[in-house]
Structure 1
Amino acid sequence: MLDIKMIRQNETEIKRRLATRGVDSRTVDQLLAADQRRRELVVKTENLRQQKNEVSEQIAQAKRNKQTAADEISQMKQVGQQIKQIDEELKMVQSNVQDLASRLPNLPHPSIPIGPDEDSNVEIKKVGTPKKFDFEPKPHWEIGEKLGILDFERGAKVSGSRFLYYVGLGAKLERAVYNFMLDEHEKDGYTEILPPYLVNAASMYGTGQFPKFKEDVFQIQDQDLTLIPTAEVPLTNYYRDEVIPNEKLPVYFTALSPSFRSEAGSAGRDTRGLIRLHQFNKVEMVKYCRPEASYDELEKMTVNAGNILEKLGLPYHIITLSTGDMGFSAAMTHDLEVWIPAQNTYREISSCSNCEDFQARRAHIQYRDENGKLNFVHTLNGSGLAVGRTVAAILENYQNADGTVTVPEALRPYMHGIDLIK
């Protein structure tokens, strides 16, 4: 959440920067008008309370002097009624301010490209060279189905579209991939966490999914619980409403979890294969750090994600997302996109984002600096990686003309020495 005081003091600049994210300036005007009314009511009720205290003292003095205080008592009742009415309005206005503020996205970092969509993203690095096949490369779903390791048909029968079964060496490959990722992140200093897969609304609010993106998730009916769309939610909320000791910073967490997404608005996109599912595994990285370190930490996190792809021998590139393509809570995002031969293009496999203090304000996560002052931490998150998309990239990049798939060398210890899926 953005600091309302900062918005008041920098109205023109805030409107300009939010406009690059598609926010109408009238939305900011509505917020500032509601905030102005809130502050007016606060002053009114404080003045009335002071007046009530003064009248109460007059009544007490009259009683001590055994004098009548009928007028003062009547006045105090009127003031009390006014306070009650103002408090009721103030409660509604404060709720409106909170709701309007919670729907504003984070401010984009001044250095990122400005544009309405993915066409404005900028490539900053390319790693590896796509393999030239001497046969027509097949899509990963066709490879997996022919090998008997991916079963989309029975997944759809049991759960619906965009679900599947991993079978035999398919399940073993998926497990090898995420265990490899977790081990690599541990080497990079991340503490492994096994988080809850159901979280409450306060946690979804803390990371920015609620209230704006409720249609993108699966909620448990009649309960304040939501299936996590990413382990970012429970990992970032680990320190919600807490003060992290300064000496603990930075904190690095990693977790494997399933991710559940309704994929609202994506009808017709990637209807086949592992790219866009309702349930998929993902290894997540989350960091908490001091503000002055967060952009260095973003670069390190991007390197950590890229390290996985390089050790798996998968070509990829890194792009910086434009203002119009970036996630709601992010101030800057680097996407890693892996090469998918059958589509002859790069597809997203990781988003590494610096959210600055946006999530920390929503979740009230602070640290105390050397002078004893409380400050909000900066939070970062990144996929390290989306496991299903990594499996898809392996199947396509390591496919052979005879339909077999070579297992990347880095995964063979996790596959008990198996070097070929056939």
Structure 2
Amino acid sequence: MIDIKLLRDDPDLVRASQRARGDDEGLVDEVLGADERRRSTLQEFEAARAEQKSVSKDVGKAMGALGAARKQGGDTAELEAAANQARERAGALSERVKALEAAAGEAGSAYEQGLRKIGNIIIDGVPAGGEDNFTVREVDGDPTTFDFEPLDHLELGERLGAIDMERGAKVGGSRFYFLTGVGAQLELALLNMGIAQAVHHGFTPMITPTLVKADVMQGAGFLDAHADEVYRLEADDLYLTGTSEVALAGYHAGEILDLSDGPKRYAGWSACYRREAGSYGKDTRGIVRVHQFHKVEMFSYCAPQDAEQEHERLLMWERDMLAKIEVPYRIIDTAAGDLGNPAARKFDCEAWVPTQKRYRELTSTSNCTTYQARRLNTRYRTPEGRTETVATLNGTLATTRWLVAILENHQQADGSVVVPHALQPFLGLEVLRPV
């Protein structure tokens, strides 16, 4: 979530970010109002509780005095009246304290829920608008052309004995598939190449859990606007992750990190699951948009002032991987309205898909600044000894969808596919041939 101090000090900045995202600006005033109610009610509660403690002492004194007078056999009428008055006052205060505590809890809940709905503050330069309002940052390579009629990745995959959608649907339903033979080998080779590159650059490889608790999924920012994309196991109150980013964001939850040697970087390999809610009729052919896939995800913890520079590093490592699979691609600066709530900026790398005659997203990298870490209470110790919230970033090195670009861009007239040179040592083949 965003920093409440920033919201209080500069609400217009938050409003501008909400406008750029196409989100509700009114949330800003709702949260500020809830915050004011929460703080004022808490002050009343604390004052009433302090008064309650004082009155409780008065009750004790009055009862003590009454008891002593009764032992001495003197007139106790005034003392009894004072004791009753003190007890009545204590009872009334007890009810008031309970009511104020409940009111503070309600105001706090409204404040917390409202604050979680506000997206991360976008970074200067992020284009405003929706999905189609991105700006092209750079283009690498010319679109692939052929002197024959190219096949799409599914037909190529079927001829190669690499993809079986029919049996995938039989077993799991629509948007499920089998990778078979060289298809399975090709995915494993690609993911292993991603891990090898990550390790070379100092990342710690991780095989992550794909089921996480609600607080981790919530903390990573995946149960807000896009909760309908997430699979939930109700009996266990666990969630299937759509990216190892979630588990890696939770890895250091509640901890204070030592970043004196620079960012902590992890490369998570996991199966990923997405409901693809709202995508009915989109990309129903092949493996572009599916419910289950594999992915190698970079995840970085760094000091907030280093986050933009770290974002550029993640993008550079994504470029290196795209160069290794030898496909034309472009990089776009994603518009604010197409960002998830945690991201302050996101760069998408889109590869050319010849049969679709357009670029399709293969990978992205997001700078989430302190949004996720604030929710998950992940901090670092500054050189001055203070503890502050860390920044988190993520970026994809390889995923199942990359097979689409590899197959289509490297196909030959006879239906075979040339394996990119950098991938050959991981696959052990130079050419994939129809079976």
- The reply to whether TM is greater than 0.5 is yes
Which of the residues 105, 108, 126 maps onto 1:112?
126
Aligned to 1:420: 432
Q: Deviations over 1:266-325 (max 9, x none)?
A: 111111111100001111010000011100000000011110010121111111111112
Counterpart CA distance in 2 for 1:141 and 1:208 is 34
1:138-192 CA distance string (max 9 Å, x none)? 1101111122211000000111011101111111111111111110111111110
CA distance in 1, matches of 2:93, 2:384: 43
Give the counterpart letter for 1:406 in structure 2: V
In structure 2, the residue matched to 1:247 is 260
Kept after mapping to 1: 8 A contact 2:418/2:430: no
Contact 2:231–2:274 under 8 Å retained in 1: yes
Residue in 2 that maps onto 1:283: 296
Q: CA deviation at 1:330?
A: 0.4
The Cα shift of 1:248 comes to 5.3
Partner residue, 1:330? 343
| 8 A contact 2:419–2:429 mirrored in 1 | no
Q: TM-score with structure 1 length normalisation?
A: 0.96
Measure how far apart 1:29 and its partner are. 2.0
Shift of 1:129: 2.6
Q: Please list, as runs of the form range in 1=range in 2, the aligned pairs for 1:382-401 lying within 5 A after superposition.
A: 382-385=395-398, 387-401=399-413
User: Counterpart of 1:22?
Assistant: 22
Task: Give the match for residue 287 of structure 2.
Answer: 274
Amino acid corresponding to residue 114 of structure 2 in structure 1:
L
Residue from 91, 95, 109 that aligns with 1:77: 91
- For residues 372-403 of structure 1, the C-alpha deviation after alignment (integer angstroms, 9 at most, x for no partner) is 21100000011112x22211111001100011
Which letter does structure 1 place at the counterpart of 2:86?
A: E
Instruction: Give the structure-2-normalised TM-score.
Output: 0.93
Query: Structure 2 counterpart of 1:134, which letter?
Result: D
Separation of aligned partners in 1, 2:305 and 2:415? 51
Q: Map 1:139-288; keep pairs closer than 5 Å.
A: 139-247=152-260, 249-288=262-301
* Cα distance, 1:249 vs structure 2: 4.0
SS in 2 for 1:337: strand
Q: Which stretches in structure 1 are left out of the alignment for 5+ residues?
A: none
Q: How far, CA to CA, are the matches of 1:280 and 1:77 in structure 2?
A: 62
Taking the aligned partners of 1:388 and 1:50, their CA distance within structure 2 comes to 61
Distance in 1 between residues matched to 2:225 and 2:265, nearest whole Å: 28
Amino acid across the alignment from 1:416: G
Residue 44 (structure 1) aligns with: 44
Aligned partner (choices 84, 88, 109) of residue 95 of structure 1: 109
Deviation at 1:224, TM superposition (A): 1.4
Cα deviation, 1:392-415, whole Å, max 9, x if unaligned, reads 111001100011111111111112
SS at match of 2:348: strand
Q: Find the aligned partners of 1:45 and 1:328 in 2 and give their Cα distance.
A: 34
Does 1:121 find its partner at 2:134? yes
Question: Aligned residues: percent identity?
Answer: 37
Conserved 8 A contact 1:407-1:421: no
CA contact (8 A) 1:350 1:384 kept: yes
Mapped to 2, the partners of 1:314 and 1:37 lie a distance apart of 56
Alpha-carbon shift at residue 22 of structure 1 (Å): 1.5
Instruction: Kindly indicate whether residue 7 of structure 2 is the aligned counterpart of residue 7 of structure 1.
Output: yes
**Larger Rg belongs to:** 2
Report the more deviating stretch, 66-75 or 330-339: 66-75
SS of residue in 2 equivalent to 1:339: strand
Q: Secondary structure at the match of 1:101?
A: helix
- Offset of residue 341 of structure 1: 1.0
* Higher mean C-alpha deviation, range 4-13 or range 257-266: 4-13
Q: What displacement does 1:242 show?
A: 1.1
**1:82 counterpart SS class:** helix
Question: How far apart are 1:353 and its partner, in Å?
Answer: 0.5
Q: CA deviation at 1:119?
A: 2.2
Aligned partner of residue 342 in structure 1, secondary structure: coil
Which residues of structure 2 form unaligned runs of 5+?
A: 70-78
Contact 1:176 1:411 in 2 (8 A): yes
The answer to whether the 8 A contact 2:160-2:432 is kept is no
How far residue 31 of structure 1 moved from its aligned partner, in angstroms, is 1.8
Q: Which residue of 1 aligns with 2:32?
A: 32
- The DSSP-based 3-state class of the residue aligned with 2:279 is coil
Contact 2:410 2:419 in 1 (8 A): yes
Does residue 316 (structure 1) correspond to residue 309 (structure 2)? The answer is no
- Say which SS state the counterpart of residue 324 (structure 1) adopts: helix
- Tell me the SS of whatever aligns to 2:366: strand
Measured in 1, the distance between the counterparts of 2:85 and 2:324 equals: 84
Of 372, 376, 389, which aligns to 1:363? 376
Q: Which residue of 2 is the match for residue 405 of structure 1?
A: 417
Q: What are the within-5 Å matches in structure 2 for residues 295-314 of structure 1?
A: 295-314=308-327
